[in-house]
Amino acid sequence: MILSLGIIVLFAAVANCAEPPAASCAEPNAAPAPKKPEIIQWVETETGKWMVHDMNRPVPPVITPGEASCYGKVGSAPSDAIVLFDGNDLSKWESAKKPGQPAPWNMGTGYFETVKDAGYIRSKQKFGSCQLHIEFATPEKVVGSSQGRGNSGIFLMDMYEVQVLDSYNNRTYADGQCGALYGRNVPLVNPSRKPGEWQTYDIIFHRPTFKDGKVDRRVRFTVILNGVLVQDNVELQGGTGWIGPYAMSDYSPHGDKGSLSLQDHGNPVKFRNIWVRELKD
Ligand code: MG
């Protein structure tokens, strides 16, 4: 008797778990809902007028990305980059003091290094707006202080300097430390690595234009130092040339392209893995 009661209770519980029959919510004899008109948005682009999600819109070119440098392994350039230094020779560079003469800096294994008083070196090829990747290392043995310690510089169009400096526990003026647009813009943070360690710069540069002898559109810089944003689409208010302890150069008209140059500031600084991708203005 007790067993049969248990079976009945269990059967009732199972029956309660069954899905209830679907209720019909439709209004009897309701008219079908009107179809919403399709919204189509259009965009005007350099490649034509396209709908949002238009399958006919041209896709960007496929490239092979480079590899990032990691510990002892040097990275490589993307497939569409112009390689200015791949670790082998300085054939893409020349002396800035003596144009047409070989770059008078020292080659090491996979890198080159500044030579005191040899002067700046510059790329033979000239560039306007571009993306630049470059790696550098200040001396492991710390010598000097402030601007006298691991100082070099990367000059876009031979003119606009992104500072290279050993800024690891090295106080100097804020607009002259590593990551600064020299004399103009302080970096957002200081992500400097220790002296002797390889560091990376990724720089997006948009050239200036000039009209009637005056700057018409200013330079814009985005700079990433060691993977960290330090200049966020900054518009350069003037030049980065030193004209006195508390004064900087102004814009001065120049051509559409210029060399990439590297500074001899009298301190030994190493460079490697340098490549450029030209950009539209
Ligand atoms: Mg410098």
CA of residue 164 to ligand 1 center, whole Å? 6
Higher pLDDT, 18 or 42: 42
Distance from the alpha carbon of residue 118 to the mean position of ligand 1, in angstroms: 15
Domain spans in the chain, listed from the N-terminal domain onward: 82-278
List, for residues 47-78, the tens digit of each pLDDT value. Answer: 999 999 999 999 999 999 999 998 779 999 99
Q: What's the pLDDT band for 8 if we cut at 50, 70, 90?
A: very low
Kindly report, residue by residue over 94-121, the tens digit of the pLDDT.
999 999 999 999 999 999 999 999 999 9
18 CA to centre of ligand 1 in angstroms: 78
Rounded to the nearest angstrom, the distance between the alpha carbon of 201 and the centre of ligand 1 is 14
> What spacing in Å lies between the alpha carbon of 249 and ligand 1's midpoint?
15
Between the CA of 187 and the centroid of ligand 1 the distance, in Å, is 14
Q: How far is the CA of 213 from the centre of ligand 1 (A)?
A: 28
Percent of the chain clearing pLDDT 90 (strictly above):
85
Per DSSP, what are the bridge partners of residue 211? 214
Ligand 1 midpoint to CA 40 (Å): 53
Higher pLDDT, 19 or 196: 196
Mean pLDDT within 9-18: 39
- CATH superfamily entry for domain 82-278: Exo-inulinase; domain 1 (2.60.120.560)
> 65 C-alpha vs ligand 1 centroid, how far in Å?
30
pLDDT for res 17: 41
Inter-residue contact 102 to 89 (CB < 8 Å): no
Classify residue 85 by burial, with Cβ atoms within 10 Å: 0-12, 13-18, 19+. buried
Please report which confidence band the pLDDT of residue 6 belongs to, taking 50, 70 and 90 as the band edges: very low
Q: Cα 10 to chain center, whole Å?
A: 69
Mean pLDDT of 26-45: 83
The pLDDT value recorded for residue 23 is: 47
- Residue 217 above 90 pLDDT? yes
Question: String of b and e for 175-205 (b: at least 16 CB within 10 Å)?
Answer: bbbbbbbbbbbbbeebbbbebeebbbbebbb
- End-to-end alpha carbon distance in the chain: 92
Instruction: Give the mean pLDDT of 246-250.
Output: 96
Helices (H), the chain: 2-17
Ligand 1 midpoint to CA 209 (Å):
24
DSSP single-letter state for residue 39 = P
The per-residue pLDDT for range 156-209, each reduced to its tens digit, is 999 999 999 999 999 999 999 999 999 999 999 999 999 999 999 999 999 999
Q: How far, in Å, from the CA of 163 to the mean position of ligand 1? A: 5
Q: How confident is the model at residue 28 (pLDDT cuts 50, 70, 90)?
A: low
For residue 81, the CA-to-ligand 1 centroid distance in Å is: 26
